[in-house]
Structure 1
Amino acid sequence: MLTAILLGFLFAVFLVFAGKFFKGKFSVLASLIPLGLFIYFCRFIPEVGSGEVIRQTYQWVPSFGVNLSFTLDGLSLLFSLMITGIGFLVFAYTSSYLKGHEYLDRFYGYLAAFMGAMLGLVLSDNMISLFTFWELTSISSFFLIGFNNTSEASRKSALTALGITGIGGLFLLLAGLVLGNISGTYSISEMLNMKEAIAGHEYYVIAVIFIFIAAFTKSAQFPFHFWLPGAMKAPTPVSTYLHSATMVKAGIYLLMRMTPVLGGEEIWNTTLIIVGAVTMVYSAVHTLFRTDLKGILAYSTISALGILVFLIGMGTRDTFLAAAVFIIVHALYKATLFLVTGIIDHETGTRDVTALAGLRKVLMPVAVAGFFAAISSAGIPPSIGFLGKELTYEGTLHPEVFNILLVVSIVVTKILLLWAGFVAGISPFKGKLPERFQKIHMPPLVMWLPPLLLATLGMAFGIFPALIQDNIIKPVVTALGQNPEEIHLALWHGFNMVFILSLVTIVVGTIMYFVIKPSEKLVGFISRFNPASPKTILEKLNSGFIIFSAYWTKIFQNGYLRNYVSTIIVFLVVLVGYTMIGNTKLDLDYSSLTKLSIYEIVATVILIVGVFYTVFTGSRLAAVAAMGVIGLAICLIFVFYSAPDLAMTQFSIDTLTVILFVLVLYKLPRYLTLSDYKMRIKDGIISCAFGLIVGILALEVLSEPVHNEIGDFYARNAYIMAHGKNVVNVILVDFRGADTMIEISVLAISAIGVFGLLKLRLKSSDRVK
């Protein structure tokens, strides 16, 4: 499985060197990567369908309990098949949709990296590795959403999406750390055996809240939903892949994966039901006030995600079954409608549904795909959408969770989604063909075949639900901790309340379709409420934060190194001093200290003289020389106390520092203009306070009893475990390797920044004179 995950990333790296090959007529070959992965995962369908769970583990950071652990069960298999199967069709579609684009190879690289990140996400069995892939999906989606980087709207949408989903990623990491603290493991499969202990822990609510924030931001739940309509600025293949079948479903996957661990409690179920219900109704209503096809599809996608959260919150076997089926339903019809919209936009140059009509006469196969998708979206037999709608109503009417308000909410949502599906899938093709569209021709096969294939699957799975019942749906229900034995998928469930609600949905939704037409008047009406929308509120908060940041920068980040150092030192003095008040107990045994030698006294006097000379001299070069003297005095003290390695390090650093200072300062004026006495007094007070704190800390350390356990451990194991004879080096490189790695990373980032500044070549017009 690790190879399957890395293949997407490796292909993205390969395109850096061989991208030109995939820009021309061979670009369709890029689709062989997801096709091969789809075939690979299809091999596991019989095994997973029989109840087997496939696990693989690779050591990553075992000392921290972080491993690359992967699990392939019903839930992860369903998502893996969607990621690779729809990914194959999107890759093929892209070869024609973006044919001749200057950066087609780059687009494939982003798409492949995103596919690999999504596979890693749904297969991960470790919370930390799951977080890693989660963030990789956010980063790769940022590049995909902002692919048209010459457009300011695209760049802003990409930043908004990255900001919202990035915040969710941070809370996912926190959730993983909290759960790891509770359970003692980061393995999700091991957490399943500790459900009761986790639920009874005092940090349970915190972990649940963090998981909710991560899932809600990724899956565009209210009030975090607004990033998804904005992301429609991306090319259609991105909208199809990310916003119908993969990225937005990551939050749904997280909730489903964590339900056996965290579910069953009131806070879990109630919150999901409320958030899901609000999201699905709110977004479904918004579809009425859009004329852009992608805008309609965006809000209907948010509504569908709300339905899935709502069903997961219900927490019964019937609602889990409905959610599993609806994931497939939504992926098939929504991907189809997005691809159809892309074809319409590509051929006509517009997505305005009020200007589109009669396209069936020139785009018949596309019209058939749109019609089938609309039928599935509406839940009309014999599509699988009808089966999904029936299961949804059946789960909502379950005696354990029945609530009339919830039933009304889901029925209203389904009616509005029927309207939206008809508008997106049927309206552009019915009626008389406008004269300006009469010269439109059919797109290439690789453009119209993918949506037609997806729409046909939606009908086939409805007519023959047994195709997915045992090998796909039942394993998903099993992965959610439910017994799937009595599950039997069929179009006809008898004449009952569920069938009556389905009939009402179809009739009312169809009437609405013929009565309510998308119009600019409706768009204008809803725009009146923009000042109260979550997006506007967040933008105002962001503007306020920018203003606050400007004042903060003006006060603390004003460009003066003196102020930076003073602020840091004052903060440390206050923090450490407050901690030490009442806790300082100096019990120093002076008899245990060695007597001062004349050499130590002389070196200390030289050091003190050097300090005073540095502070009060009026020459920069003299101050630098005095600092060198201070460094040499410290070297002598290290030598006196048998630390020659520290002495050599200090000597090297001080020598280099003096040389660098001289090189920098020798061209400056010879004498300084000393600061006013008030500032010098302030700096003196800060320095003395800091020195006093450091001195007290040093005496505190000396007064503590000596424990050699840690030193003995390193001395015994330095050579045995790390094969190094220098204990200090072994500690830095091996035992504290993570610290050293971070320090090296910081230095590398700094070096890259300096290199970028050195290589900067500004145009004469850009230079500040």
Structure 2
Amino acid sequence: MLTVVLAPFVAAGAAPLLVRLLGHRASFVLALVPAASFLWLVARTDEATPGILESTPWVPGLDVALDFSLDGLSLIFSLLISGIGTLIVVYAGGYLKGHPMLGRFFLFLMMFMGAMQGVVLADNVVSLFVFWELTSLASYLLVGFESSKPAARRAALQALLITGTGGLALLAGLLMLANAGGSWRISDLTGAGSWIQDDPLYLPILILVVLGCFTKSAQWPFHSWLPGAMQAPTPVSAYLHSATMVKAGVYLLARLDPALGGSPEWLWILTGIGGLTMLMGVVFALLETDLKLVLAWTTVSALGTLVFLLGPTHEPGAKAAMAFLLVHALYKGALFMAAGNVDHEAGTRDLTKLGGLMRVMPVTFATAALACVSMAGLPLGLGWVAKELIGAAKIALEDEFGITVIAATLTNLMLFCVAAIVAIVPFTGKPTEPAEHAHEAPWSMLAGPVVLSSLGLVFGMAPNLVADSLIAAATTAVMGRKATLDIVLFKAVDWKFLLTLATFAAGAVLFAFWRRSAARWRAALNPTLDRGPDRGYDHAMAGLAALATWQTRIWQPGLLHRYMAASFAVVTLAVAASLARGDVRFNLSFDGGRLIEWAVFAVTAAAGLVAAFATTRLLAVTALGMLGLGVAMIFMLFGAPDLAITQFMVETLVVVILALVLIRLPGFRLSSRSDRPRWLYGSISVGTGAIVTLLLLGVLAEPFDPRLSEWFGATAVPDAFGHNIVNVILVDFRALDTLGEIIVVFAAALSALAAIGIGARARR
């Protein structure tokens, strides 16, 4: 399994070189990688039902391993990723033939394939999340592949932000889930459902995990990124919608169903949001004129259907979900590639400009028609089997949940109408101008839709080929117990069969009304529907930009005195809070002091006041120099002559250098009082001084600990060969600190030199 996951990444690295050597024919070589994975997985079909576990050490120090698991659920997803991926790679070679960035495209596509294989095969929370985020990154690169187009850049950023934000929620949820379940292995967590649901953090875990899955699988209100992703080239759209990223959220919900499912919260959230999404998606599909967007909105509806079916956590729903997962992958991959053929050969995807393509593109028409048979759920297609299973799931849901599933029935009849639109409108009727110039696509672009649509027909007529090996095996993995699947293609005529026929008839009537009234429907509904989540995304981004501008103006105004004030205020408040919470004693003993000490204190305090109220830079610098000299006198009075001499030298040099620099700078006066609220800065200064004073009094109240000074005295000569202990501390024991101080002084000197240069150029 490690090879299945890593092989696409290796192929991604080799893709640019292969394209440089072979051109678009490199697609045939690259397609061998997913084809080999597909064959390996087919050979392991019988072993997947009990499950295969594989572990490779990754970060042993953190007990993180690349754990992989192959069971019925991961098998069906992995087969779709590798099987459809093989056809997509071949298709992309023909579709993007001659594209200057073909090598880069294959690099992104193969990386995307490997990331999805990692998601569905991972059995470790950490590795699952890593691959999960890789899918977001790869999809961002693929959606924004045509980076010269503003719409593509917007769509790529939108997809990244929505799915990335959901990924952060998922990370928190997975970490809490692992903590509640007591294991990092997903296979262990799925067996600990009772413990997890009894945990007091079950609801936060559920909400966070569901948020991550809903953003990835485009559930309302996070669905807007998926139609926008149609800015990507058609091979990406076909792969994205049929087998990869959009179904990652559905996969994780199905995988975690034994751990999180079965609760009322799980039922209400998945059934409610899933039902709303499946109904909303198909309504939007009826209002679109772009063929790819029509298919994209039906994918939103299909994803809602899958989530809706997983909500009840019962066997009929799981069977229907797994069957519909397979059906949707086959017909949606075929339809997107057929739509790409139409766009590639006719030059447009606009349904209002297409017609009569059946004569010039017969194979594309046949594949689209066969795929739409499954999409509509007509007999002989695999969609008919899935429809029967979904009907059984709806009945079970209604009995258990106590409500009628009207949304699902409405979705079925509208989906029938959409299937008729896709199969009939572009290909029948009077040939339009695009049809006069169109011709059939090359075989590399026909192989994919022909294979996928044919498989839908073959599996529809012989469903036992996939019933036990794929659908029942996946259901077993979801439910955590053995599931069987008995499929009867044509049952007795009963009310359920008659309801199905009525749905078909209602869909046909709706299609007839659509052909006559679609333009009026769009004109009436689009102004309202345009105010949906996609517009909300634009408002959210505009609000985020405004917030960033506001907070940047507040916190990063480019004024040094504001930065210093904020830094001192934060430190002062933090230390004051620590002192208030701690048990601190203060040494308040006072012996009256000597006259010279009072004199030095008065001079130092006066210098500080002058510096605080100075209105010119030169006066402020002079006052600060006097303040420093006062500190040096304090060092002298209390027995530290070496520090005093150093302080004298530093203050003298600083005052002289700053005075020379300030004379050369424009604007000799300090900034206005409105820019410097003296009362605020004065309060911060007094608070900082008070806190430092309290800290010193608290330190003096504690018994003196001479261990450090004794250690310096004992080691200065034998270790550092110096008799001046202060110098030894600075040069040897605190060498890096001293080096840092030198670097700071040097940087300040460079800044001063630059400022002088700017002033000189301004005067010239």
Amino acid in the other structure paired with 1:20: R
Note closer, same or farther for the CA distance 1:429–1:674 as it changes in structure 2 (3 Å cut): closer
**2:601 maps to what in 1?**
none
Please give the per-residue CA displacement for 1:733-753, whole angstroms capped at 9, x wherever unaligned. Answer: xxxxxxxxxxxxxxxxxxxxx
Tell me if structure 2 keeps the 8 A contact 1:148–1:234.
yes
Amino acid at match of 1:13: G
Look up the match of 1:598: none
What secondary structure is seen at the aligned counterpart in 1 of 2:283? helix
**Aligned match of 1:30:** 30
Q: Does structure 2 conserve the Cα–Cα contact (< 8 Å) formed by 1:370 and 1:455? A: yes
The TM-score normalised by the length of structure 2 is 0.79
SS at match of 1:23: helix
Match of 1:332 in 2: 330
- Distance in structure 1 (CA, Å) of the matches to 2:409 and 2:340: 30
CA distance in 1, matches of 2:185, 2:146: 39
Residue 254 of structure 1 corresponds to 252
Are residue 281 (structure 1) and residue 308 (structure 2) matched?
Answer: no
- CA pair 693-109 structure 1, distance change in 2 beyond 3 A: farther
Structure 1 residue 425, shift from structure 2 partner: 2.6
Label 1:697 to 1:412 Cα distance change in 2 as closer, same or farther (>3 A): farther
Give the match for residue 523 of structure 2: 524
**Match in the other structure for 1:354:** 352
Relative to structure 1, the CA distance from residue 588 to residue 212 in structure 2 (aligned partners, 3 Å threshold; closer, same or farther) is same
Judge conservation of contact 1:287–1:299 (CA < 8 Å) in 2: yes
- Corresponding letter in the other structure for 2:359: K
CA distance in 2, matches of 1:424, 1:355: 13
Write the deviation string for residues 316-336 of structure 1: whole angstroms up to 9, x where unpaired: 101100000100000000111
CA contact (8 A) 1:288 1:522 kept: no
Give the CA deviation at 1:28. 3.3
Deviations along 1:105-134, one digit per CA (max 9) or x if unpaired, are 111111111111111111122222222211
- Does 1:365 pair with 2:363? yes
State the shift of 1:281 in Å.
1.0
Deviations 1:293-316 (A, max 9, x none): 111111111111111010000211
Counterpart residue number, 2:569: 570
* Residue aligned with 1:429, SS: coil
CA–CA separation in structure 2 for the residues paired with 1:323 and 1:44: 23
Equivalence map 1:572-611=2 (5 Å): 572-578=571-577, 580-581=579-580, 583-587=581-585
Structure 2 counterpart of 1:99? 97
Q: Which residue of 2 aligns with 1:760?
A: none
CA distance 1:538–1:27, shift in 2 (3 Å): closer
Mapped to 2, the partners of 1:78 and 1:289 lie a distance apart of 33
Letter in structure 1 aligned against 2:550: Y
| 1:235 paired to 2:233 | yes
Q: Which amino acid aligns with 1:10?
A: V
| Structure-2 residue corresponding to 1:376 | 374
507, 510, 513: which one pairs with 2:511? 513
- Cα pair distance change 1:566/1:373, threshold 3 Å: same
Larger displacement relative to structure 2 (300-309 or 572-581): 572-581
Q: Deviations over 1:612-636 (max 9, x none)?
A: 999999599999999999xx9xxxx
8 Å CA contact retained: 1:165, 1:217: yes
AA aligned to 2:173 is: A
Secondary structure, counterpart of 2:59 in structure 1: strand
Distance 1:13 1:703 in 2: 66
Root mean square deviation of aligned Cα: 4.0
Q: State the distance in 1 between where 2:301 and 2:623 align.
A: 69
Match of 1:723 in 2: none
In the alignment, residue 431 of structure 2 is paired with which amino acid?
A: L
Cα distance change of structure 1 residues 611 and 413 upon mapping to structure 2, 3 Å threshold: same
Partner of 1:55: helix, strand, or coil? strand
- Aligned-residue identity in percent: 36
Letter in 2 for 1:5: V
Give the Cα separation in 2 of the matches to 1:698 and 1:498. 86
2:426 is paired with a residue whose SS is: helix
Q: Could you list the per-position Cα deviations for residues 384-420 of structure 1 after superposition, in whole angstroms to 9, with x for gaps in the alignment? A: 1000011001111127745685432211101111111
SS in 1 for 2:396: coil
> What is the total number of aligned residue pairs between the two structures?
670
> Which residues in structure 2 correspond to 1:342-491 (within 5 Å)?
342-398=340-396, 401=399, 406-434=404-432, 436-491=434-489
Matched position secondary structure for 1:314: coil
User: Amino acid of the residue matched to residue 33 of structure 2?
Assistant: I
Shift of 1:260: 0.7
Q: Which deviations, in whole Å up to 9, do the C-alpha atoms of 1:42-98 show, x marking residues without a partner?
A: 23212114x2333324232643x5432221111111111111111111110010101
With over 3 angstroms needed to count, the CA separation of the structure-2 counterparts of 1:405 and 1:17, relative to structure 1, is: same
SS at match of 2:262: coil
User: Separation in 1 of the partners of 2:162 and 2:332?
Assistant: 23
- The answer to whether the aligner puts 1:267 opposite 2:265 as a matched pair is yes
Q: What residue is the counterpart of 2:46 in the other structure? A: 46
Gap regions ≥5 residues in structure 1: 591-606, 633-639, 641-653, 707-769
Secondary structure in 2 matching 1:54: strand
Are 1:118 and 1:137, in contact at CA under 8 Å, matched by a contact in 2? yes
CA contact (8 A) 1:35 1:85 kept: yes
Closer, same or farther in 2 for the Cα pair 1:43/1:439, shift >3 Å?
same
**Which SS does the other structure have where 1:112 is aligned?**
helix
CA separation of 1:688/1:134 partners in 2, compared to 1, >3 Å: closer, same or farther?
farther
- Aligned residues of 2:123 and 2:185 also touching (Cα < 8 A): yes
Question: Residue by residue, what CA displacement relative to the aligned partner does 1:246-269 show, whole Å, maximum 9, x if unpaired?
Answer: 111011011111111111100001
8 Å CA contact 1:97, 1:346 repeated in 2: yes
Q: Is the 8 A contact 2:94 2:444 kept in 1?
A: yes
1:109 aligns with: 107
Deviation of the 1:4 alpha carbon: 2.4
Aligned to 1:738: none
The one-letter code sitting in structure 2 at the alignment partner of 1:9 is F
Task: Return the TM-score normalized by structure 1.
Answer: 0.78
Distance 1:112 1:196, change over 3 A: same
| 1:90 corresponds to | 88
**Is 1:7–2:7 an aligned residue pair?**
yes
Shift of 1:487: 2.0
Residue identity matched to 2:498: I
Contact 1:48 1:74 (8 Å CA) reproduced: yes
1:602 corresponds to: none
SS at the partner of 1:564?
helix
Deviations 1:220-255 (A, max 9, x none): 111111111111111111111112321110110111
Deviates more, 1:272-281 or 1:512-521: 512-521
CA distance in structure 2 between the partners assigned to 1:16 and 1:613 by the alignment: 69
Secondary structure class of the residue paired with 2:405: helix
Change (3 A) 1:105 1:400: same
Q: What is the deviation of 1:421?
A: 1.5
Structure 1 residues 41 and 688 mapped into 2: Cα distance closer, same or farther (>3 Å)? Answer: farther
Counterparts in 2 of 1:25 and 1:57: CA distance versus 1, 3 Å: closer
Deviation at 1:438, TM superposition (A): 3.1
- Residue of structure 2 in register with 1:213 after alignment: 211
Cα distance in 1, alignment partners of residues 435 and 407 from structure 2: 40
> Structure 1: how far apart are the matches of 2:209 and 2:579?
38
Q: Tell me what 2:753 maps to.
A: none
State the match for 1:67 in structure 2. 65
Aligned residue for 2:190, secondary structure, equals helix
For the Cα contact (< 8 Å) 1:584–1:700, is it kept in 2?
Answer: no
User: Which residue of 2 is the match for residue 542 of structure 1?
Assistant: 541
The Cα shift of 1:337 comes to 0.6
Give SS of 2:54's match.
strand
1:643-658 equivalences in 2 (<5 Å): none
Change in CA separation of 1:689 and 1:459 when aligned onto 2, cut-off 3 Å? same
Cα 1:586/1:52, change in 2 over 3 Å: same
Q: Is the 8 A contact 1:21 1:27 kept in 2?
A: no
